[in-house]
Amino acid sequence: MSHASPTTPAPEQTVDQRVADLLGRMTLIEKIGQMNQLNSDGPAVLDQLRHPIQAGHVGSVLNEVDVVLVNELQRIAVEESRLGIPLLIGRDVIHGFNTVMPIPLGQAATWNPAIVREGARVAALEAASSGVNWTFAPMMDLTRDPRWGRIAEGFGEDAHLASEMAVAMVRGFQGNNLADAGSIAACAKHFAAYGAVESGRDYATTNISEYELRNYYLRPFKAAIDAGVSTLMASFSDVNGVPATGNEFLMRKVLREEWAFEGFVVSDWDSVRQLIIHGLSEDDRDAALAAVTAGVNMEMVGQSYIHHLPALVEEGLVAEAMIDELVASILRVKFQLGLFENAYTNPSDLPPAGNPQALDTVRQAALQSVVLLKNEGRLLPLSPDKLNSVALIGPLADAPYEQLGTWIFDGNAQWSVTPRRALEERLDGQVEVHYVRAMDTSRSRVSPTFDDAVRAASEADVAILFLGEESILSGEAHSRANIDLPGDQAELVRRIRATGRPVIAVIQAGRALTLTNIVDEVDALLFAWHPGTMGGPAIADLLLGVDSPSGKLPVTFPRMVGQIPIYYNQKNTGKPPSHDTIVHIDDIDPFAPQTSLGMTAFHLDAGYTPLFPFGFGLSYGEFHYDNMRVATPEVPLGESLRASVELTNRGAVAAEEVVQLYVRDLVGNVTRPIKELKGFRRVRLAPGETTVVEFVVHTDELAFYDRHMRRVTEPGKFHVWIGGDSDTQLRADFRVVDILTDDQKP
């Protein structure tokens, strides 16, 4: 097919000029074709998509990672379609491509945006070598409910931490310039409030106030947009009665009008047509009208746009100017990616997958993500010279695929180094290692293999149990109502405990778990999430003291599922609980009169505290916080709070601590949380070393949306804490003032 006109405008034009020029030469069906994304079915993709691409009916292809096929699809688009518009090639590159990082929740546990950015860069380079130029990540949905399977894909419960991680991942994927080799367009998802689905059931309804939406759930998206994210994805869920895919408030009022977003929005998989199932739309035509009116630029796989938008435009129900606006955003991203200059991929231009630098990056991420939750009697780290034998027990000690976690379509399990392999290599010739799987899967029940595990533990100096949940138990459509360890893992722990040997548990999971039934049965507890390709060496180094654990929890761990939602930045209520006011259910007099006098907000059978608080994580170092101070007790609006603390490592080993700063606005136009994270910093100290850690917090960072949905920083009194987790008690006070006091005047 010959071209009727040049495929690209003059390169000296600006991107917007090039977009306008190209748009002016497109027919209506070619415009709507850019809004149509189709899925690849593998080798048959060429036969299935050749004609639609030639006709200009396809703007993006999903899930094709064979670089030969990708290049041929691009050749058809560039050389055989009328205008030669290249394709976006989309793929879920969630936490790695061939080389796999820890799950995003584990990456959040590093509290290290730099390593998150490096990991996204590794993923981008590997994906780009397969022809992928667009990833559906990062996912920045906040959630306070670990039952939700997709908590694994996000950054936890806190807006500040999630924002920092989202920005880091966007910058890692997109690089310094989208047109650079190895850069791919990022996609902030899922817009919005998907993580607040009822009871943690995936795809369920979200009922959430605009106050909560603006003050928490939207903040990471705004941060990603400010960082230049190219695209957004609409959530599957119903948001306050209007599914996100048809939600004009989210897509037009907030995203376009308030935030001036210039990228484009893609629907989730077939979510335009799902507006019918939700009950918002009558049929495919009605669904296409609702989604395009809301501002969804591209439809993923459903094809209601390509089938119905031409008629809707002809009938005057959709203005062609609206189509032009939506298509312009898609074309803009394609120009920014440099696809019009070079749509083809040459893998030799990029580093090979799984190269030493990539493996080192994912190993460092895994190392920093592991959280030490318990270390009774300083059992850890283990000293090989004091051991004759160790027992490695459990279904996740040697499970190369499972340690990769959810959403790893392209992950290479053959590259995984498991904890068993890493420990056997480290201890070879020094310590005997006895391995007993004990359970076929994490869901298995008691079997004779438990006896084998007990025997191995009895004959060893220490038992290390590798427990948790397989990768398939978290992720999309894999929510759980009971988040205890699956199967009979708790019984396995009890039987090993009965041997009298020291017990270490290493948990791999895609979510926070309720560990109350085992926490007292183990001497040491490491939470490793799903740690990725190099999880084994990282875990081995921590167990043997080559490095000290430095991960911190990005989500609160409940004592029992009935406490959910439980999160650190809750409201105070009119009757806040305290250690002095709670009553345990076993202590209640059955004949006591019913009364509310002196009662507070807690559960009779669980109290009010979590098992482990947000931000918690132990170390082999001994970190002490002293002499916290604020530079001035009053901070004028428009200026910054300076708060500092002395941090000392009184331990015997060098270690890293994540220092965290929290604030509380005591009185507001609306009630404010008891604490909010406003800053954090990783600090490495040698034994005996002391340093002063200072934070600078601008008064704009204290702003919130008030009862009228205005973003304001109100003058008044604040508390500020600095410590190693959200439960820190080291506090100072300051006041934000809107005028200078006499002492502050020059």
Q: Which burial class, exposed, middle or buried, applies to 110 when counting CB atoms under 10 A from its CB (0-12, 13-18, 19+)? A: buried
Residues 6+ apart with CB under 8 A from 544: 381, 382, 384, 423, 426
Q: Is 35 strand, coil or helix?
A: coil
Of 158, 268, 410, 523, catalytic: 268
**Integer distance in angstroms from the first to the last C-alpha of the chain?**
75
Task: Give, as one character, the DSSP assignment of residue 525.
Answer: E
Cis previous bond, 381, omega within 30: yes
Does 268 participate in catalysis according to the annotation?
A: yes
- Given CA atoms 375, 381, 383, 387 in this order, what sign does their dihedral have? positive
Q: Is the distance from CB of 245 to CB of 275 less than 8 angstroms? A: yes
CA 568 to chain centre: 18
Task: State the DSSP H helix or E strand holding residue 391, giving kind and residue range, or none if neither.
Answer: strand 389-393
Give the CA distances from residue 721 to residues 403, 629, 680, 726, in Å, rounded to whole numbers and listed in that order: 36, 10, 12, 9
List strand residue ranges (DSSP E) for 349-388, in order.
371-375
> How many Å apart are CA 16 and CA 296, to the nearest integer?
20
Residue whose C-alpha is closest to residue 420's, from 431, 430, 434: 434
Residue whose C-alpha is closest to residue 502's, from 399, 371, 381: 381
Angular region, 76: left φ>0, alpha ψ -120 to 50, beta rest? alpha
Residues, the chain, total? 746
Q: Is the distance from CB of 245 to CB of 253 less than 8 angstroms? A: no
Q: Is the distance from CB of 615 to CB of 654 less than 8 angstroms? A: no
Task: State the DSSP H helix or E strand holding residue 580, giving kind and residue range, or none if neither.
Answer: none
> How many Å apart are CA 612 and CA 209, to the nearest integer?
28
Angle, vertex CA 328, rays to CA 73 and CA 300, nearest 5: 50
Residue whose C-alpha is closest to residue 170's, from 134, 142, 194, 195: 134
**What residues act catalytically?**
268
